[in-house]
Each structure stands twice: as C-alpha cells, then as structure tokens.
A and B are shown apart, each in its own frame.
Chain A
Amino acid sequence: MTTVEKPLAVPTTAPRAGGIGSSAVRKEDDRLLRGDGRFTDDVEPARALYMAVLRCPYPHARVLRVDTSAAERLDGVLHVLVGAQVRAATEPLPVLRPVPGAPRLPYFALAQDVATHEGQPVVSVVATSRHLAEDALELIDVDYEPLPHVIDVLAALEPDAPVLHPEVLDSNLLAANSDGSGDPEARMAEAHVVVEGRFRINRVTALPMETRAVVAEWRPGARELTVHVSTQVPHLVRKSLAEVLRLQESDIRVVASDVGGGFGLKLGVFPEDVLACLHAMALRRAVKWTEDRAEHFRASTHARESVHDYRIAADAEGRILAMTNVYATDIGGWNSPFGSAQLSSVVLNGPYRVEDGYAERRVTLTNKTPIGAYRGYGQPEVNFAYERLMDTLARRLHLDPVELRAANMVKQEDLPWRNPTGAVYDSGDYERCLRMAAEAIGWDAHRDAPRVPRADGRLVGIGFSSFVERTGYASARFLANRGSQFGAHESVTLRANRSGGIDVYTGVSSMGQSSETAFAQVVSDVFGIAYDVVKVHAGDTASSPLNTGGFASRTMIAAAGALKEAADELARKTLRLAAGKLEAEAADLEIAGSVVRHRDVSGVQVTLAEVFTGAITGQGIPPGEDPGMEATSHFEPSDAAYSFGTAAALVSVDPGTGEFDVERFVMVHDAGTVVNPTIVEGQIRGALAQGFGAALTEELRYDPDTGQLVNGSMVDYFVPTAADLPPLELLHTEVASPVTPFGVRGVGEAGTIPPGAAVANAICDALADHGVELSSLPITPESVWREISGRAAHVDTHLNPSPGDLPDGGDGY
C-alpha cells in the first residue's frame, strides 16, 4: 500500500514473520497453484450418478401436468422426482436471516402448483451421466398455464399487480420494517433546504467463478448423509438439511473444502442441494450436481435491486438536520435463506452525524430469481443515494462538497456514537480518510478551476464517496430479536499433534478470503509457535466445532478472539508441562518456534514435539495435569465493528456522447489493526472490482413483456476483465477498534460500497454546467447522454412513509 498512517502508539518493530501484521505467504496457495485444490466438482465418489434439473421457462405459471414416463424409459435414467414427492418427503427451505414480520413461504425444492420465476426447479432426474440426465429432461412433458407476471418492484406493490403467494399474502409486500429515532418530519419542515431523489439500484449477481455444486452420499445402515457442497456456511447447511429432510443433525456431515468464490451467494441451502440428497437416499448411490452457468444466472441468487426515495434536510450552513429513506427492495419469487439486505437500513446515514432519521424497508416479491446476500449487503445501495444527495446539497448551498462532508462527519471524539437506527459506530477518524482522498486526487487545484473542456474535448470532474461498513453483528441477542438462525460468535478447536505442530479446526470454509492464513498467523502470534507448523482444516462439520460461518465481514473479528483464547489456553498448559520436564518454573519459560526454552538460561529447552507427545500419551506429565493438548473456544465480540473510508474518482466525460473514463480512483480505507497487509489490500482490490462492475457494466435485465431474463449468460452479462478496470490507488489508515480482539475490523466488503457514488459524483461535477444529476445504476455512456440531452425519464412520485410512530432502534444494530 502506498501510505500507512497510524495515529495510535503502535510498536515500531517489524512484525514477526508469520505473526499478526506480517504479509505471511498464504497457506492456501500451494495446492491451488498446482491444480490440487479440491472444489466440489472435483469430488468424484465411486459409482456416482448425475442429476439434471428441469426448470420453469415462465416467470409465473401453474404446473398443470407433468409426464416423465418417456424420460424414465431412457437407458441410463435411474430416478425422477416431481413436486408431489418432494412435498411428501421434505419441509420447506428454511430462512436463516428472516425479515422481521414476514410470513414463511412454502418454498419447496421443486415447484408445487405454481412456479414464481423463470428457472425454478420443476423436475429432477438422475442418470448414469450428466449427458443422459440432460437428454432425459428433453423427454419430459410439462403443461404450464402461464399466469400474469410482475417484474418491476414498484409495479409489484400496486393494487392491481398479480399476487405471487395468495395463499399466504394478499399483496406482494412480504413485510415492511421501519427503524429510526427523533422527529425527522419536524426537522424537514423547519429545514432551510431539503434535497431528495429517487435512486434506482440495478439487479446484479455475485457470479463466483465456481458455480454451485453438490455431491450427496447416503449410507442408510449408518444413517450417514455426507454432503460435499460449495458453501460459505457448512454448519448452517447441515442444520438446514436436517430440518428439510427430517433428519437428525448427527445424521449429516457437510464438507466444503475449497470454495471457488462465495461473496454471499453461497449462504444456506438451495433447492438442488435438497434434491441431490433425496435422490441419493432413494438410490443409495452418490448423486452429483454441478450447476451450469445458464442455470446459475437463473437459479442462484441475484442481488441489490431496489428503489430508494431519500431525503436530506439541512440548515443554511449545510448542517444535516434529518435523513430519511423509504425504499422498496426486490426479493424475487421466494425468500431465499439470506433474502433481503438489511444493512440499507442500518447505515442509512453513512458516516454523517444525523440525530433524526429513519429507514423504512418494503420487501417486495416479483416474478424474478430470488434475491440473496451479496458482498456489501445493502450498503453500496444506500451509499449511492446519500452520497449523490450530499453533492446535490453542496451544489444547492454553493458549498465545497469536501467541506460539507467533513463538517457533517461523526467526529473521532464523539465515538462511540449511536445512529438513528440504533447502530453503534465504535471508533475511527472518518474526516482524515476524506482529507487524504481529497489531497491524493488533487481536489484543491480542481475545485476552483472552471469546468472547460480539455484539448481532447472532454470535461473532467472529481467525485467523492465516504462510507462506513458494518462488519460482524452486534450480538447474539440482537440476532435473536430479529429471528436470525445463527450467532454472532465464531468457534475454533486447536489440537496439538506429536509432530510438534498445531491443527486448527474451523467451520469457516476457504473461499478466497485467506482465513487459513490469517487463522494460522493469530495462532502463531499468540502461542509463539512457528507459522509453518500450524495447519488449518476448514469446512468439515465432522471435525470443526459448531460455528456461524464466513460472511458479513465477520470471520476475523469473531474468530480472532476464539483463536486467541484457545491458543492462550494451550500455551499455558504447554508451559506447565514443559516446566515439569525442565524442572523449572513455568513463568520462566517461553515458547519460541519449535521449542519451549528458559528465558534466562540458554540450553535449557525442550521441543514442542516432546511436550505435545507427553500430553497426548499422558506419559510424563506433572501430577494433577490431565492428558491431552486440545482447546475449543467460542468467542463473541462485544459489538459490531465499523470500517470506514473515502473514495475519490477523477473522470473525464465527452459532453457530446456521454462516454466517460475513470482516469484515477483513490481509495482510503481503515480496517483497524491489519492482520496481513497483503491480504487486506487484495480484499480491497477485489471488492472494488466487483463494485465497479455493479456501478458501470453489470445489470440483469428482464423483458417486462415476457418476464424472462434477457442477458443470463457470460456472453451478455459484463463483469470486469483485466482490461476494463481503472487504475486503483490505495491509501490506508489504521485505527484499532475497541470492540474486537487485536482491534481488527472486517475488510471483505468495503470496496463494493463507494465506486458507484464516486464515479457518478465525478460525472455530475464534470457536467455541472449541464445540470446533470445521475440517479440510477449502472452508469453507462447512454445514461449519461440521456441526462445531458434531457432524454432521461424523471418521476415526481415518491414512496410515502407508513403512518404511525417511529419504532425505536431497539437493542441496536
């Protein structure tokens, strides 16, 4: 990274190799570089069979009749499942992170009477090869009665919209939640100025390079269902499968070894996971399914689509008096396990001090693929809205947008601070990141320069986006209040071995976030053992303690504490046992690399292998000591930690065509204490790439007439390639968080948040004399040209808040 500013007193010595703060080489790399990773499709049990899934081609249709007889006669076809069989054998798919107040929808692995989106599974077939299974799908005859469909999220809330789930709901509003405090309407009424806008956020998808996959094997005599699945949450998949299949959790082992990217998409069970298990249990043979990319675009989850009606009220000096957001968020045809993004409400005010505000969320069903979690989970969406409005406010009041932001940011000395929805921001210096970004991008020189075209005819603008990122969860109590099916803690088991190393067992699967490396660094640092002999075994429910899993930028902030506690416990015992062997006082000993040695007397030492062997055999340990060298720890941080930062974009725009280029992009970011600088930078860069994709090139488009996905293939859906991304300049500050062990903050998602707002603000700055105010994502040359030429459609309507008192933010986010 280019710059590191550390405001707090930190040791100036370089971190120990492999310890916290070092750029240790990754544990994961050797196998992946050799092609020796073990992704789910690489698992090939003997005599495996292959599943294929027939999917509804309509956005909304009644399934009148299914005839599978010809498929069943095809040579090589062994088993077929239809909706009625699934209904008899299973429970509906569970929701792990429900929307408070939402009824449970009967979401079965195969469509029952009615399918509610293109791509919903209707029939599944197992054959001796994938080719034959797919041949069999061609022989299945299904009579559908197409039903009226609704694609647009606002149209779905109209009284005349076709209702997707009339047996449970009388409209497409799954639930509405309001969070806030103060009296924002009164502040609006007395404000000098109110800026408002409707912001449309595009439907995108995480698109991990590895699609979903599952391999299920059933041994009825042993009552053992082994499920290899590409998931971020093996223990939550195990719990969910037990519920759906009416098994005991002890009957199920879930293994996720290498996962080829998750980004929130691979949270919880999907219909195909259940189907593979049902087939395997019926056939007593291993059944494998690997999603193809066409299926992935229709049957894995999408993300982000929402419409936000935002308002910011301010006094004449630009001090924010109130902020509100009433928004409709699309959840698609069903409530997927992680469903609607909740953080749009939590961080509605971003890094700005707002005492009076609320967010009202309307979770809306449409005839499209279900929405799930995606890196950022509601935060990029609202960042685009409030940061666009901050620039609008600055222009309205003729204020410098940097100074307007700085004046309204929560001050370091005011933290911790509770925002209107109850979120407690822990610590940080938000303004410093903003100032660093402004300086790096050259704001002062640009600010007062006239917006005249360069020699190439282009206008140049600079735009900013400041943000906070909620990482982790406030508490198990908070999660319980909202019906979530998991905890805020993380769990690890440390077990010493006779070779003198430590095995770490975790339910957090390896999906690129480098948790194997970071976990080993913490153990090495705390215990004093060499990094090389710490081995992390990830993603197997049979060996790891029950945990929550890798999502919500939560892994390190919770797992670091569990690792520290367990490593401390093992270290204390190691020192006691070594003291017995060395006839010394434990307090005089230290662990260094592969030995325990006397601090003062050189040559007095014993190897860790010998100490561990003694503990494991129980031979030669001091009286009163138990055999064994193993510790399991569960740790819940005291609160969520908030990462923060500011991005600045320099963009040139052709005012004639709307074409634009992001010529510079500066990201200033704080993730608290950094465990591994190289990994942190990699996380930021990767998330920025996804942020740029969502901001500029990615959008899943549905034909409103047919209700079908228009661009559901890699050929038509444009994720950034190596040749597409702008140069990224990373700057970094390091303010330790007081709520987590070592002061770490989560880092996985921040980069997804600011690109859209920063680029849009830069374009609007460049085109200030044209009065351009962008309000939709993605930003394309066409959308810019429409704004310049006055061809953009503008709406005057907005979503009204529901009447009634504001609910308190409760126990806080």
Chain B
Amino acid sequence: MSTASEVGTEPLVTVTTTVNGQEVTATVPPRLHAADFLRQRLGLTGTHVGCEQGSCGMCTVVVDGEAVKSCLLLACQLDGRSVRTVESLAEDDRLNPLQQTFKEEHALQCGFCTPAFLMTATALGQQGRGCPSREEIREEIAGVLCRCTGYENVVTAIERWFAEHPQRAEDADPSPEALR
C-alpha cells in the first residue's frame, strides 16, 4: 500500500468566489464539482447531492440570481461569481418567510430535497414577476424531485409566499453586508 503521500497527487487550481456574502479563496482539484466544494470544503452541508447528473435537483443553489444545479458546475466555474445556499436564508434565529411558509404548509417530510426547493423558489422570487399560477409553479419546480410529499404542499407554500410577501425580492436577497 502507498504510504508516501496521503493526499495523492492531483493538480490544484485557485478559485475566488462569494458564498453567502463572504468572499472565499480556495485551491481545489479541477475535477471537484461545486456541490462537493460547498459541502466538503466550506462545510455548507445544507446543499445535498442526489444524482451528480443534473437530474434530481437536490444540489440546487442560486448563482448570480439563477437557480443552478451545483453538481453540474465545477468549483472552479464559481470563480468571480456569487453563490447563495440554504444556510443564508434564516435571519438569526428566525426562519425567513419562505421557510416559515414551508413549515406551516407541511411542505417537507424527510427534508432532503427541501433546500433545493427553497433555493429554486428564492431564485424565482428574485425574477421580479407577479404571482405565478399553481401550474406555473409546478413547471418551475419540476427540476427538483421529491419522493415524500407528492409536491402539493410545496406548491401551496410557494404560492402563498408569493401572495403574502410581495416584498420577497428584498427578503430573498439580503445584501452581502446584511449577511455578514
């Protein structure tokens, strides 16, 4: 067995990115994908990994305002970009209005997919559009799979959040200063 090098020999690249309002510089293997970078290097384990194929949507985060599947991005592609994960949503001890609505509507069961729905909805809320219909919400969240809830309550929660929080763009996108 090899004992010469415990870390193995992989070339490394440097990436500088803003995650939840904080600038991060890290050296990473080029093949490290963004979801593993967030989870393993930054300890942001709220972003989950379900298929590493871009199909299940568990790893959805917001990059520069867009919901993206972080397993399909390499960590080095985050260079110069701004990333938001589920850990940025709660305000101190309080769930934010979107999270609170998910709780009240029983929009989660095992909770593994929940961060992905929250980030998908957060990105949707930032697009500055009016209240989507239930059908539109269903189409918008169809990129995230859930095996527990049957989706009905997820749709209801997002619909209610849009209806009750017209100021959601501000809720959903606090400034980097506020996040620090």
Contact = CB atoms under 8 A, between A and B. Distances in A.
Q: Do A and B come from one complex?
A: yes
Interface of A: 23, 25-26, 28-37, 39, 41-42, 44, 72-80, 127-129, 131-132, 206-211, 258-261, 263, 290, 292-293, 510-514, 678-679, 681-682, 685-690, 713-715, 719, 721-725, 728
Contacts of B29: 131
A35 to B, nearest CB: 2
A75 B9 contact: yes
B103 A25 contact: yes
Nearest to A78: B1
Contact of B145 (A39, A209, A290, A728): A209
B108 A29 contact: yes
18 contacts: A29-B102, A33-B86, A35-B44, A36-B46, A41-B49, A76-B7, A77-B2, A209-B113, A211-B50, A258-B111, A260-B112, A293-B51, A682-B106, A688-B150, A719-B145, A719-B147, A722-B139, A722-B154
B139 to A, nearest CB: 5
Interface stretch (B52-60, B75-83, B161-169): B52-60
Given A78-B2, A682-B149, 7 more contacts: A34-B86, A37-B46, A44-B40, A128-B8, A131-B31, A261-B110, A722-B155
Interface string B129-166: 00000000111011111111111111100000000000
A648 B75 CA distance: 49
A685 B152 contact: yes
Nearest to B117: A722
B172 interface: no
Contact of B151 (A129, A208, A714, A722): A722
B86 A35 contact: yes
Contacts of B141: 722
A60 B89 CA distance: 50
A258 B155 CA distance: 24
A512 B55 contact: no
Given A35-B87, A72-B2, A682-B149, A512 B109 contact: yes
B177 interface: no
A536 to B, nearest CB: 15
Residue of A30, A34, A80, A128 with most chain B CB atoms under a 10 A cut-off: A34
A677 to B, nearest CB: 10
Contact of B58 (A80, A129, A209): A209
Nearest to B7: A128
B8 A75 contact: yes
A72 B4 CA distance: 12
B142 A258 contact: no
A32 B111 contact: yes
Contact of A129 (B8, B104, B150): B8
Residue of B5, B44, B114 with most chain A CB atoms under a 10 A cut-off: B114
A759 to B, nearest CB: 16
B1 A261 contact: no
B102 A33 contact: yes
A29 B109 CA distance: 8
A28 B143 CA distance: 24
Contacts, number: 206
B40 to A, nearest CB: 7
B95 interface: yes
A686 B150 contact: yes
Contact of B53 (A261, A290, A715, A722): A715
A207 B56 CA distance: 11
A468 to B, nearest CB: 22
Contacts of B118: 33
Given A261-B110, A689-B151, A34 B99 contact: yes
Contacts of B7: 76, 128-129
A28 B108 CA distance: 9
B63 interface: no
Contacts of A31: 111
A35 B115 contact: yes
Nearest to B158: A722
Contacts of A23: 106
Given A34-B87, A723-B139, A210 B112 contact: yes
B53 A293 contact: yes
B31 to A, nearest CB: 6
B150 A728 contact: yes
B112 A261 contact: yes
A292 B145 contact: no
Given A76-B6, A511-B110, A34 B46 contact: yes
Contact of B111 (A73, A260, A690, A714): A260
A714 B53 contact: yes
A690 B147 contact: yes
B72 to A, nearest CB: 12
Contact of B147 (A132, A207, A259): A207
B153 A682 contact: yes
Contact of B52 (A293, A679, A689, A722): A293
A210 B148 CA distance: 11
Nearest to B86: A35
A30 B86 contact: no
B85 interface: yes
Contacts of A73: 2
B74 interface: no
B99 A723 contact: no
Contacts of B3: 78
A259 B10 CA distance: 33
Contacts of B16: none
Contacts of A719: 145, 147
Contact of B149 (A25, A30, A35, A685): A685
Contacts of B53: 293, 713-715
Given A127-B8, A728-B152, A72 B45 contact: no
A75 B5 contact: yes
Nearest 5 interchain pairs by C-beta:
A35-B46, A32-B111, A76-B8, A512-B110, A260-B112
Contact of B50 (A74, A293, A511, A723): A293
B47 interface: yes
Given A259-B110, A512-B111, A714 B55 contact: yes
B90 interface: yes
Contacts of B150: 682, 685-689, 725, 728
B71 to A, nearest CB: 10
Interface string B10-53: 10000000000000000001011000000110001111111111
A319 to B, nearest CB: 37
Given A35-B86, A723-B142, A28 B111 contact: yes
A147 B164 CA distance: 63
B148 A512 contact: yes
Given A25-B104, A258-B111, A682-B109, A35 B148 contact: no
Contacts of A29: 102-103, 108, 111
A192 B108 CA distance: 52
Contact of B106 (A44, A679, A689): A679
A26 B46 contact: no
Residue of B48, B50, B147 with most chain A CB atoms under a 10 A cut-off: B147
A260 B138 contact: no
Nearest to A692: B150
B107 to A, nearest CB: 9
B153 A685 contact: yes
A128 B3 CA distance: 11
B149 A721 contact: no
A209 B8 contact: no
Contact of A260 (B4, B32, B48, B106): B48
B106 A39 contact: no
B62 to A, nearest CB: 13
